[in-house]
Amino acid sequence: MRDGTCVKCGAVAVRAARNGIVMGELLQTQLRPNIGPDFRGMVRNQAADLWAFACTNCGYIELYVLDPAAIAFIAQNWAPVEPGESSPAP
C-alpha cells in the first residue's frame, strides 16, 4: 500500500492521509499499552500520527505508524503475536 499499489486487488489507486481516520474526539491518535482486564491504575499513552492508506478501487485500508518513537513504544508495550496466531493471548 505504501508504494501506491493495493495489496488486495493490485490496483494503482491508493490514497494516503496523515491522521485521516478520527478515533475518538482527540485530534491526534494516542497509542495505549496492552493492559490486562484486571489492571487497575494509570497508563502512559504515546501520541502518534496514524497514516491511513486506502484503495479507491476496492476500499481496503491499512494503517501505519511511521514515527520511530511511537514504534518503539509499541515494541515495548504491546503483546507480541507469534507467527500462526490470529491474536495475542488474553
Residue 8 lies in a domain: no
Give the tens place of pLDDT for each residue, 10-51: 999 999 888 777 665 656 677 888 887 788 888 888 888 888
Q: For residues 56, 10, 23 and 37, what is the CA-based torsion angle, rounded to 10 degrees?
A: 150
pLDDT confidence of residue 53: 93
What the block records as the C-alpha cell of 5 is 499499489
Residue 56 lies in a domain: yes
Number of domains in the chain: 1
Residue 28 lies in a domain: yes
Nearby residues of 59 by Cβ (< 8 Å), 6 or more positions away: none
pLDDT at 78 over 80: yes
Q: What is the span of the domain harbouring residue 31?
A: 14-36+43-77
